[in-house]
């Protein structure tokens, strides 16, 4: 925190002198004793002096509203906002989130340390506490084709940065379990800091070994059973509820039914789009949903405040008490977290227009693809039986299924059920590409493409014909990356994401407007109402989340750790 205790502060805390700011007549959520205290909150120099009866040079009447500590998002990727990081921080701040623990591994996978430094620089003057976890798996696995390889020797430069809290999500679980030397170097380097995990699907012994290696948290538990297994190993569960992945209901229901203690829990969003934040809230939404599932309101608030603050060593955050930073959230109903005011260091957060900053040239023009022509998208098959990536509705998980598909002249032909999925290496123009079959996108008469493809961020395109897939790739090469929707016979509709192929230079209002137009066109092409096509595409090449993915090197089975043949030659059963 860095504030200096002084005689002046003592006089104000003792009530002998007026404090610069007092929030009067508040119902204070006391996270240490699970009480609601009626009183005033005295603040000076961004620090809480005390709770009780105080007079201030400036006073704001809370009129009996509830006041709790500012919410903490324990894990997110600011790059996934599609716009400048400051825009998400402001919008989430207006909804009560005053602390963000960010993992810039999207930027690092494209641009290495330049990407990490960009996130640090763009957030240093935000009206929020923005901390960074150094990305651990850049690339996500030894066979991934990303833009940069970040090793332990380069990570060491960040250890002295006070805004760096530890090592980001360790998604290469096999490297941990097999004691890969490069991974061990990273774990040793950050052994005195927090190390985030990325597992969820490991067995009991593997989970124990993962925890033994020094992993402290995990946000990848999709079910209560996964969370319980990791809780028993001492891992703190970061309960994720964002735009794509929604795991809160399963985990909180289990916690409530089993009457488990909550001190090993925290909330995170991972990825949540600005329009969803504006409509629903941010971490406030997670708190509200947990309360609605039967969790005690004060415990729900502690999961969003005290518990993550303690895990990440943020001793000055997470409570309304003397010496804590004056980050507070105001709302009217303890059972309905409808945020009315938010204060960061005693300063009320207000809507404002953010200044546009110059983007370093090194973060632009990052799409480099070797493309020969339409023939690049052919998928030869040995027969009509094929392995297919099936989407799981409402999840970022997938399933491997075996299906009968259409074949013409020895190649796969898409229909209304099965479309083609291609992933093209876009960092070094190597020409590497993986092609597979996907079920669940339902695209008819066109293609959709994106350079946002976790975590290596190669170009991903799904379509029902090779010509439109080819046109989609050309459109993104022309604009330096982004999203595009190509309907047969029409010009591509594109959202440029010029910064690393991940973020736009435009405001979130303009980005939202263009996305709305593109979504209408995608729906007209058959994409289901329940699916966001761009978010769905972004996870189809991520070989760290079960069950199967398509990467630049082909179809990959996550749990088995091996690449698969698309063609299936065994005889049909039954």
Q: pLDDT tens-digit profile of 79-95?
A: 988 999 999 999 999 99
Residue 374's pLDDT is what? 97
Q: Check if the beta carbon of residue 306 is closer than 8 Å to that of residue 31.
A: yes
Q: Check if the beta carbon of residue 561 is closer than 8 Å to that of residue 174.
A: yes
The pair of structure tokens assigned to 344 is 């960061």
Question: pLDDT under 50 in the chain at which residues?
Answer: 571-574
Q: What three-state secondary structure class fits 188?
A: helix
The pair of structure tokens assigned to 214 is 């020094």
Residue 569's pLDDT is what? 79
Nearest to 309 by CA among 23, 40, 34, 31: 31
Q: Check if the beta carbon of residue 311 is closer than 8 Å to that of residue 194.
A: yes
Q: Decide the pairing of beta strands 236-240 and 217-218.
A: parallel
Residue 574's pLDDT is what? 37
Domain boundaries defined on the chain: 69-318, 362-564
Residue 570's pLDDT is what? 59
> What is the C-alpha separation between 488 and 465, in angstroms, rounded?
9
Residue 39's pLDDT is what? 97
The pair of structure tokens assigned to 288 is 């509200």
Q: Decide the pairing of beta strands 548-551 and 554-557.
A: antiparallel
CATH value of 69-318 in 1.10.3720.10, 3.30.460.80, 3.20.20.140, 3.40.50.1110? 3.20.20.140
Q: Please list the residues that pair with 499 across neighbouring strands.
A: 503
Residues contacting 355, CB < 8 A, separation 6+: none
pLDDT digits (tens, 9 = 90+) for 551-571: 999 999 998 989 999 999 754
Q: What three-state secondary structure class fits 26?
A: strand
Burial tier of 146 (Cβ tally within 10 Å: 0-12, 13-18, 19+): buried
DSSP line for 513-545: HHHHHHHHHHHHTT--TT--HHHHHHHTT-TTS
pLDDT digits (tens, 9 = 90+) for 276-296: 999 999 999 999 999 999 999
> pTM for the whole thing?
0.92
Q: Check if the beta carbon of residue 402 is closer than 8 Å to that of residue 389.
A: no
Residue 127's pLDDT is what? 94
Share of the chain above pLDDT 90, in %: 90
């Amino acid at each position: 925190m860095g504030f200096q205790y002084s005689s002046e502060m003592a006089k104000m805390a003792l009530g002998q002198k007026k404090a610069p700011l007092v929030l009067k007549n508040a119902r204070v959520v006391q996270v240490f004793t699970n009480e609601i205290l009626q009183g005033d909150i005295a603040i000076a120099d961004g620090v809480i002096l005390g709770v009780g009866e105080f007079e201030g040079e400036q006073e704001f009447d809370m009129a009996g509203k509830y006041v709790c500590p500012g919410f903490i998002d324990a894990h997110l990727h600011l790059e996934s906002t599609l716009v400048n990081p400051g825009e998400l921080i402001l919008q989430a701040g207006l909804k009560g989130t005053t602390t963000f623990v960010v993992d810039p591994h999207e930027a690092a996978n494209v641009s290495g340390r330049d990407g990490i430094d960009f996130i640090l620089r763009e957030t240093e003057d935000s009206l929020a506490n923005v901390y960074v976890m150094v990305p651990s798996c850049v690339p996500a696995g030894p066979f991934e084709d990303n833009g940069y390889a970040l090793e332990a020797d380069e990570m060491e430069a960040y250890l002295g940065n006070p805004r760096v809290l530890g090592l980001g999500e360790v998604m290469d679980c096999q490297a941990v379990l097999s004691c890969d030397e490069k991974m061990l170097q990273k774990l040793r380097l950050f052994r005195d800091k927090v190390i985030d995990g990325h597992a969820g699907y490991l067995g009991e012994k593997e989970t124990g070994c993962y925890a033994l290696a020094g992993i402290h948290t995990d946000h990848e538990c999709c079910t209560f059973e996964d969370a319980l297994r990791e809780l028993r190993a001492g891992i703190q569960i970061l309960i994720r509820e964002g735009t794509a992945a929604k795991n809160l209901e399963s985990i909180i229901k289990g916690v409530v039914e089993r009457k488990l203690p909550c001190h090993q829990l925290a909330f995170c969003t991972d990825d949540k789009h600005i329009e969803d934040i504006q409509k629903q809230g941010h971490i406030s939404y997670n708190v509200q949903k947990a309360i609605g599932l039967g969790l005690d309101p004060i415990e729900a608030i502690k999961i969003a405040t005290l518990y993550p603050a303690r895990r990440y060593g943020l001793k000055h955050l997470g409570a309304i008490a003397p010496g804590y930073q004056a980050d507070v959230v105001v709302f009217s109903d303890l059972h309905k977290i409808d945020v009315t005011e938010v204060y960061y260091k005693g300063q009320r957060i207000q809507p404002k227009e953010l200044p546009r900053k110059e983007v370093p040239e090194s973060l632009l023009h990052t799409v480099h693809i070797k493309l020969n022509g339409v023939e690049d998208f052919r998928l030869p098959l040995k027969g009509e039986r094929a392995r297919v990536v099936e989407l799981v509705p409402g999840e970022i998980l997938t399933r491997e299924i075996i299906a009968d598909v259409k074949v013409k002249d020895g190649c796969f032909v898409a229909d209304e059920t099965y479309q083609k999925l291609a992933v093209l290496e876009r960092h070094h123009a190597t020409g590497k590409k993986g092609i597979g079959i996907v079920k669940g996108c339902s695209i008819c008469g066109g293609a959709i493409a994106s350079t946002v493809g976790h975590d290596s961020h190669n170009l991903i395109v799904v379509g029902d014909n090779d010509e439109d897939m080819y046109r989609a790739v050309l459109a993104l090469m022309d604009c330096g990356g982004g999203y595009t929707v190509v309907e047969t016979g029409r010009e591509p509709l594109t959202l440029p994401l010029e910064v690393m192929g991940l973020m736009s230079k435009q405001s979130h209002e303009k980005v939202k407007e263009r996305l709305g137009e593109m979504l209408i066109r995608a729906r007209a092409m058959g994409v289901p109402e329940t699916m966001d096509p761009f978010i769905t595409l972004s996870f189809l090449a991520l070989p760290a989340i079960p069950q199967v993915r398509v990467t630049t090197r082909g179809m990959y089975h996550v749990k088995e750790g091996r690449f698969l043949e698309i063609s299936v030659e065994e005889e049909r059963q039954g």
